Amino acid sequence: DSQRDVAVVTGGSSGLGYNVAFLLASKGVKVAVLDAKAPDIPVALVKYYKCDVGSYDDVAKSIAQIEHDLGPVTILVNNAGIERRGSLWEMPVEDIQLTINVNLLSQFYTIRCVLPGMIAANRGYIVSVGSSLSYTSPIYYGPYGASKAGLLGLYETLRVELEQYPGIQTLLVLPGQMRTPMFQDIYPPRQFLAPVVEPRDLATEIVDKIAHGKSGEIRRPMYVHGMPYLRILPWPIQRALRWVSNLDGSV
C-alpha cells in the first residue's frame, strides 16, 4: 500500500537516487531525500533534508525528523556515493575517510536508525546500491573499491539477520558504470563489453522490485553477473582480463 509508505533515499538529489525518488513519489509514496545538496529540479511529494550521511549524528537527527514529519520509515534506499581518485600513497587521508564514510558507513547508520521500527512492525524494504567494482577495483580507485566491497559483507549479513522477519525484504543493486555526473568524465572504450547503464532504466527496475515486495538482486549490465567468478581466477588471468576490458586504462 504505497499510501502508507514513507521512503528515505540517500543521495537522492541527482542520478540514480533522484530517479528512484521521482518514481516512488509518482506512486504516492511519501519520499524524503537525504543529501548534502538540494535537488536541482524539485519533485512534488519529495521532501529534502540536508544531511551529511557520513555522520551518524546527522543521520539519526534527520531520520527522527522525517518520522516526525512523515511517519515511520518503511522503505530505505541506500544510494549515496562519492568517488575520490588518486594513488594510495598520495591520496589525502581526508579523502579516504570521506569515501568510506559516505559509501559504506552511511549504510550502517541508516539501517541502524530505521530497522528497529521495521522490525517492530515486521514490515519494510531496504535497498543497498553497490557497484560492479564491489568485485574488482581499477587503478586509483582504492577507497571507492574497498567501500563497495564492504557493502557486499554488510548486505550478506543483513539478509541473514532478517530471515526471522519475513515482512522485511532486501534488494542488492550492483550496476556497472552509469550515465551520471559522478562518472561523466570516464569513457570506457570497450562499451561493447560494458555498456553504460541508464539511471532511469535501473531506477524503474528498483521501484518495480519494491512495489512487488520481493527480495533479490539486480545486476546490470549482463557482465556483472560474471564478476563474482573473477575473484577465484589466478592473478595472471585476472590481470589479462583487466587489460582486455581496459579497466585501468579508462580511468
Parallel/antiparallel/unpaired status of strands 75-78 and 168-175? unpaired
Q: How confident is the model at residue 91 (pLDDT cuts 50, 70, 90)?
A: very high
**pLDDT for the residue numbered 196:** 83
DSSP structure class, residue 164:
G
More confident residue, 196 or 203: 203
**pLDDT for the residue numbered 181:** 61
**pLDDT for the residue numbered 180:** 58
The mean pLDDT value for 225-229 works out to 86
Neighbours of 17 (CB within 10 A): 26
Q: How confident is the model at residue 60 (pLDDT cuts 50, 70, 90)?
A: very high
Q: How far apart are CA 114 and CA 72, in angstroms?
A: 8
Q: Of 2-11, 48-57, 147-156, 186-195, where does mean pLDDT reach its minimum?
A: 186-195
Q: H helices within 54-198, ranges in order? A: 56-69, 93-100, 106-121, 142-161
**pLDDT for the residue numbered 184:** 56
**Cα pseudo-dihedral 29, 210, 161, 76, rounded to 10:** -40
**CA dihedral sign of residues 37, 251, 194, 102:** negative
Active-site residue among 144, 155, 165, 223?
144
The mean pLDDT value for 149-162 works out to 97
Q: What is the pLDDT of residues 9-33, one digit of tens each?
A: 999 999 999 999 999 999 999 999 9
Residue 67 has pLDDT above 80, yes or no: yes
Which class in CATH covers the domain with range 2-245?
Answer: alpha beta
Residue 221 has pLDDT above 80, yes or no: yes
Q: How far apart are CA 33 and CA 36, in angstroms?
A: 10
Q: For the whole model, what pTM was predicted?
A: 0.91
**Residue 144 annotated to the active site:** yes
Domain boundaries, the chain: 2-245
The mean pLDDT value for 201-210 works out to 97
The mean pLDDT value for 237-243 works out to 86
Taking a C-beta distance cutoff of 8 angstroms, is the pair 77, 10 a contact? yes
Provide the mean pLDDT of the chain.
Answer: 91
Q: What is the pLDDT of residues 105-141, one digit of tens each?
A: 999 999 999 999 999 999 999 999 999 889 988 899 9
Q: Single out the residue of 181, 233, 178 nearest to residue 203, CA to CA.
A: 178
List the beta bridge partners of residue 31: 7, 46
Q: What is the pLDDT of residues 162-196, one digit of tens each?
A: 999 999 999 999 998 777 565 555 555 555 456 78
